[in-house]
Chains A and B, each alone.
Chain A
Amino acid sequence: MTLHTLNRAPSNTALLADCLRACSSGDTLLLIEDGVYCALAGQPIAWPAGVTLCALAADVAARGLDSRLASNIAQADDAGFVQLCCEHTRVISWY
């Protein structure tokens, strides 16, 4: 199981596509920094099946997106980020 982090907005389509292609069922994708814009409700993103999606809470709050996230996306605080790193055998950063 791999933890992926993505720190770019969905306008960086090539990076998002590369990241999603690399996600396997059972992996977790943590959206950080400008990556949290991918978590907005109504984004036309085909999330791969079986991948757990979450967004870094401080980065969501800093951008005022708390009430605008898609319902399938959970939030993780900084401690949760560390825990996710422990729970997954590998961590890949997409940037």
Chain B
Amino acid sequence: MIFSLLVYAAPHSHQGAETAYRFAVACLAQGHSIHRVFFYGDGVHGATALAAPPQDEPNLPARWQALAQTHKLDLVVCIAAAVRRGLLDANEARRYEKPGHNLQQDFELSGLGQLAEAAIVSDRLITFGA
């Protein structure tokens, strides 16, 4: 079955950010495919490369990246939600003349069309709320 995940929850604010990751792992372990993980609203904080949680706590952006590399996941971050929260890739940093960029590797900034497409293509779209 083809799944897509919609993540509204930010790490360290809501458990939903972690639940989404656990769900993705369980999903892949059962042989299902994940078409896309879409980070929206405060969920975009799950894609920052600058998070530095204590070593005995999960670093979700790093975990997603590792999972994406193993399973070729499409990790998409809503660009409008991201830039207004200070989550930028190199392009956006240039466009807005900001001193740095912080999008974790293997994540991509894109538009809501990617969410619509995921909803159409996937058998199930599972929302992880804040």
Contacts and interface: CB of A to CB of B under 8 A. Distances in A.
Interface residues of A, number: 19
B124 A32 contact: no
Contact of A86 (B124, B127, B128, B130): B124
B15 A34 contact: yes
A76 to B, nearest CB: 11
Nearest to A77: B26
Which applies to chain A's interface (DSSP): helix, strand, loop or mixed?
helix
A81 interface: yes
Interface of B: 1, 3, 8, 14-16, 19, 22-23, 25-27, 29-30, 32, 124-130
A57 to B, nearest CB: 11
7 closest A-B pairs by beta carbon, nearest first, are: A95-B129, A78-B26, A93-B127, A33-B15, A82-B26, A79-B26, A82-B27
A52 interface: no
Interface of A: 7, 32-34, 56, 58-59, 77-79, 81-83, 85-86, 91, 93-95
Nearest to B125: A91
A35 to B, nearest CB: 10
Given A7-B15, A34-B15, A79 B126 contact: no
A93 B15 CA distance: 14
B16 A33 contact: yes
A71 to B, nearest CB: 25
Contacts of A93: 126-129
Contacts of A34: 15
A91 B22 contact: no
Nearest to B130: A95
